[in-house]
Amino acid sequence: QVQLVESGGGLVQAGGSLRLSCAASGSIFSRNVMGWYCQAPGKQRELVATITSGGYTNYADSVKGRFTISRDNAKNTVYLQMNSLKPEDTAVYYCNIRYLLANYWGQGTQVTVSS
């Protein structure tokens, strides 16, 4: 089975930055989509950004211009550079990978932005 391990979350002041990482291990098809999703208290899980193995990216409107998703295919690792953080970004951030009929999630990492 594929395993996803996230890191890089924490507490930061508004306007600050964080860099999230997610390393995937296991039997992974080379053509895939990796992404980040967030879930705030009392809300449903929402897409933040995705990136294909070919480097094509997609972002939620709320993070465009502030967040950047990237990946290292050789390491099966996806990153989320989070700049100009806002209190409304506070959430648990989950890593995801999809390929063929497979869909896997990480355990989540907490991001808290204080004002």
Give residue 1's pLDDT: 86
Measured CA to CA, the distance from residue 42 to residue 7 in angstroms comes to: 23
Tokens, residue 95: 């890593």
Question: Which of the four pLDDT bands, split at 50, 70 and 90, describes residue 19?
Answer: very high
Measured CA to CA, the distance from residue 13 to residue 43 in angstroms comes to: 22
What whole-number percentage of the chain has pLDDT above 70? 100
Residue 87 gets which letter from DSSP? G
Instruction: State whether residue 89 is helix, strand or coil.
Output: helix
CB 52 within 8 A of CB 96: no
* pLDDT per position as a tens digit, 55-98: 999 999 999 999 999 999 999 999 999 999 999 999 999 999 99
